[in-house]
Amino acid sequence: LCHIAQVIKGDNDVLLKGVGDKSAIEEVKHILDTARRAATRREVFHTDFLTPPVLKESMIVLQKLADVKAVAQGGYLQAERCRLSIGHSEVLTNDPNVVAAINISGNFSFQPCSHGDFLGAILGKGIAREKLGDIILQGEKGAHVLIVPELVDFLMSTLDKVANVSVSCTQIPLLALEYEPPRTQSFKTVEASLRVDALASAGFKISRSKLVNLISNGDVRVNWTTVTKNGTTLKTGDIVSVSGKGRLKIGEINSTKKGKFAVELIRYL
C-alpha cells in the first residue's frame, strides 16, 4: 500500500527503481519532471526525439502515473526514434505538427551515401542529434529525414551538400514518406539453452567467447537494454542488438525430444 501511495504521488526514486537500462536513468528522470509540469499546468509537453531504450523505459515509468498519459510519435509507424507527447488524457491528441519530414534529393548514382553521411552533414550544420528522428535512405534519390518542425526552414536553407554530392531540400507531408520494411534472413538453430550468449553467437555467426567479451564491454542489448549477464534468457519476440553486427529477432521456439531448443532466428540484413 505504501508503494502504491508513493507511485500515485509520483515519488521519483520509487519510479526510477524500475528502469532496467541504467544508462537511460537521467533522461527518464528529465521526462518524469516534464510529466510533473504537464500534470500541474494541465498542458501538453513534447520531448525531443528519444532513442529506443529511453523511449521504452520512459513509457514504462509514465504508465505508473495516474494523472498523465503519453503518446509516442516518430512520423511513421515503424519509426525507431520518437518524440513523446505528455499531458492529461482529455487534452492529449496525436499532433501531426510534432514531427516534420524533409526530402533531401541529389544525384547519388555515382557516389552512394550512407546513413552516417546524411547524419554527419546535418549535424555539421549545428543541429543537435536529439532534434532529428529517423533517416530513411532512398537509394540513388537521397533520403527522407524526420526533424522537429521548428528547424525545417533552417535545414532547408543551409544544407546544400551531403559528402560531395550537391543536394536540395523540400518539406514533404508525413504521408509521402517512402519506407520499405527491413530485409531479413531467417534460419533455425538447435541449442541446449535460451541464453543470450548461445543464441546471439549462433545468430551472428561468431564464437561464443567473442560474444561473451562483447557482453562484458556493454556492446550487447536485448530490447534496447544493455545486458550484463551471459545467462540472460531470451524469448520469442526479443530483439538482440550487437554493436557493429546488427540486429537479430528471436522467432518461434520449440522443444526437441532430446530436451534442447529449436529456435528460429531472424537476422536483419
pLDDT tens across 88-145, in order? 877 776 666 899 999 999 999 989 898 889 999 999 999 999 999 999 999 899 999 9
pTM above 0.85, yes or no: no
pLDDT tens across 158-208, in order? 999 999 999 999 999 999 999 887 788 999 999 999 999 999 999 999 999
- Tell me the domains of the chain and their CATH numbers: 1-87 (3.30.1370), 100-176 (3.30.70.330), 184-268 (3.10.290.10)
* Three-class HEC string of the chain: CHHHHHHHHCCHHHHHCCCCCHHHHHHHHHHHHHHHHHHHHCCCEECCCECHHHHHHHHHHHCCCCCCEEEEECCCCCCCCEEEEEECCCCCCCCCCCCEEEEEEECCCCCCCCHHHHHHHHHCCCCCHHHEEEEEECHHHEEEEEECHHHHHHHHHHCCEECCEEEEEEEECHHHCCCCCCCEEEEEEEECCCEHHHHHHHHHCCCHHHHHHHHHCCCEEECCEECCCCCCECCCCCEEEECCCEEEEEEEEEECCCCCEEEEEEEEC
